[in-house]
C-alpha cells in the first residue's frame, strides 16, 4: 500500500472524491478522467485492492494523470474523512441507518452552499461488488442517491463518480441553455427578412406560382412562417437572395 498521508487542508473550492476499497484499476482511472472532465481533481483512495500506484488506472485515465498523481491513499475511511466537515455517501439503498437521502442534483446544490462557506466536503463511493457497508456509511452526514431505472439500477462506480461530478459542475455552470455556433454570423434582422420575403414573392408573382388571387394571401403567409421558423442568419438571408435570383433567372429572360 502507498503512503498513508494525513488529509491535507484542501482548498475548499470543490468536493473531494473518496473511493472506498476500489477493486478495479480501470474504474479508478475512468473515475479520475470523469472527475477532471467536470473540474474536480482531489481524489482519495481507501485501501485500493490492487495497491497503489496502479498501471491499469493510469491507462484508463486517458490523460487525467494529474488526478492520479495527486491521489491520497488511506487505510481506513475514518482517516480519509478526518479533516472534512461534511461527508456524503452514495448508496443504492441504505440498509439500517436513519439518514437523509438526497438526489445527486439536490446534493450538488447543498454542496455549493457548504463550499460557499469555505467548508471541506467529501463524497464517498463504495467498492464495485458490494457498495458501502454500514460501518462506512456511519462516517457520512448524508446519503446521496442517483435516481435511475429501478429495473436496472446497478451503476458502474466510475459512472457514479461521473454523474455526481457532473451534477456538481452543472450546479455552477452558466453556459446559456441555447446558443448559436460561434462562427455563425448574427441572426438576420426582421427588416432583412422582410426584404427577402418580398424578393421571393415578387419572383413567385412573375413565375405565375401565386396567380390564384384567392389562394395568394394564405400562401404568402405560410411561406413567411416557414422561412421565419428557420431563424436565418444575416449571411443565410443573403445566400437565399441569391437562390431566388438564380432560380428565377429563366423567368426574367422569358
**Contacts to a copy of itself by CB under 8 A:** 30, 33-34, 36-39, 62-64, 94-103, 105-106, 143, 145, 147-149, 152-156, 159, 162-163, 166, 169-170, 173, 175-185, 231, 233, 235-236
**40 within 8 A of 15, measured Cβ to Cβ:** yes
If the CB atoms of residues 84 and 89 are measured against a copy of itself, the closer one turns out to be 89
If the CB atoms of residues 34 and 204 are measured against a copy of itself, the closer one turns out to be 34
Output the smallest distance, CB 188 to a copy of itself, in A.
Answer: 11
If the CB atoms of residues 5 and 70 are measured against a copy of itself, the closer one turns out to be 70
Output the smallest distance, CB 3 to a copy of itself, in A.
Answer: 25
Output the smallest distance, CB 148 to a copy of itself, in A.
Answer: 5
Output the smallest distance, CB 126 to a copy of itself, in A.
Answer: 16
Output the smallest distance, CB 93 to a copy of itself, in A.
Answer: 8
- Alpha carbon distances (Å) from 72 to 9, 16, 32, 80: 12, 11, 13, 9
If the CB atoms of residues 121 and 210 are measured against a copy of itself, the closer one turns out to be 121
Name the packing angle between helices 157-171 and 25-37 (round to 10°). 10
Take residue 211 and report the three cell numbers written for it: 396567380
CA distance 160 to 144: 11
Output the smallest distance, CB 6 to a copy of itself, in A.
Answer: 28
Q: Is 76 exposed, middle or buried (0-12, 13-18, 19+ CB in 10 A)?
A: middle
91-97 contacts at long range (C-beta below 8 A, 24 or more positions apart):
91/126, 91/131, 91/132, 91/137, 91/143, 91/144, 91/145, 92/131, 92/145, 92/153, 92/154, 92/155, 94/137, 94/143, 95/134, 96/134, 97/134, 97/137, 97/138, 97/143
If the CB atoms of residues 183 and 213 are measured against a copy of itself, the closer one turns out to be 183
CA distance 70 to 43: 7
Output the smallest distance, CB 183 to a copy of itself, in A.
Answer: 7
If the CB atoms of residues 36 and 84 are measured against a copy of itself, the closer one turns out to be 36
If the CB atoms of residues 67 and 203 are measured against a copy of itself, the closer one turns out to be 67
Amino acid at each position: 500500500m502507498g503512503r498513508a498521508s494525513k488529509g491535507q487542508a484542501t482548498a475548499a473550492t470543490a468536493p473531494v472524491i473518496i473511493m472506498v476499497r476500489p477493486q478495479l484499476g480501470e474504474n479508478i482511472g475512468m473515475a479520475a478522467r470523469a472527475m477532471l472532465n467536470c473540474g474536480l481533481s482531489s481524489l482519495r483512495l481507501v485501501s485500493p485492492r490492487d495497491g497503489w500506484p496502479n498501471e491499469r488506472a493510469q491507462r484508463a485515465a486517458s490523460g487525467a494523470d494529474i488526478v492520479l498523481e495527486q491521489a491520497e491513499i488511506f487505510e481506513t475511511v475514518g482517516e480519509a474523512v478526518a479533516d472534512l466537515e461534511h461527508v456524503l455517501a452514495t448508496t443504492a439503498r441504505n440498509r439500517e441507518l436513519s439518514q437523509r437521502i438526497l438526489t445527486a442534483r439536490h446534493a450538488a446544490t447543498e454542496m455549493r452552499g457548504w463550499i460557499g462557506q469555505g467548508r471541506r466536503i467529501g463524497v464517498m463511493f463504495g467498492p464495485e461488488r458490494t457498495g458501502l457497508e454500514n460501518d462506512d456509511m456511519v462516517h457520512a452526514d448524508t446519503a446521496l442517491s442517483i435516481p435511475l431505472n429501478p429495473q436496472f439500477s446497478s451503476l458502474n462506480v466510475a459512472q457514479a463518480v461521473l454523474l455526481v461530478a457532473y451534477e456538481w459542475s452543472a450546479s455552477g455552470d452558466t453556459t446559456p441553455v441555447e446558443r448559436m455556433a460561434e462562427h455563425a454570423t448574427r441572426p438576420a434582422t426582421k427588416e432583412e427578412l422582410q426584404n427577402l420575403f418580398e424578393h421571393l414573392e415578387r419572383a413567385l408573382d412573375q413565375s405565375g406560382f401565386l396567380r390564384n388571387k384567392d389562394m395568394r394571401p394564405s400562401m404568402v403567409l405560410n411561406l413567411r412562417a416557414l422561412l421565419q421558423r428557420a431563424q436565418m442568419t444575416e449571411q443565410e438571408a443573403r445566400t437565399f437572395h441569391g437562390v431566388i435570383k438564380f432560380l428565377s433567372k429563366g423567368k426574367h429572360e422569358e
